[in-house]
Amino acid sequence: MVQIPDARPLLGLVLEDIEGTCTNGISLRNVHRVGLRGLRLAGHTGPLISAENSKGEGLEDASPLPADTKR
């Protein structure tokens, strides 16, 4: 996992038209101007998208980050 500090969020991340399998969903912390579109991922346990202090398109149904990923 990449650690992005609260004071300096990543500005601009787009993941678009991605298809495949994974063991874990996508976790985002301190990312603004997110664009998540056309994600077709299978095989993950837990939520597909988890986010904390992140804003943008595709995060409307994001779950909170699990306790084991918090600092």
Residue 13 falls inside a structural domain: no
- Segments forming the whole domain that contains residue 41: 23-65
Domain count, the chain: 1
Beta bridge partners of 57: 35
Q: Which amino acid is at 58?
A: G
Rounded distance, CA 52 to CA 71, Å?
12
Tens digits of residue pLDDT in 3-56: 899 999 999 999 999 999 999 999 999 999 999 999 999 999 999 999 999 999
What is the per-residue DSSP string for 8-50? Answer: S-EEEEEEEEEEEE-SEEEEEESEEEEEEEEEEEES-EEEEEE
Residues 27, 51: contact at Cβ < 8 Å?
Answer: yes
Q: Which pLDDT value is given to residue 55?
A: 96
Residue 15 falls inside a structural domain: no
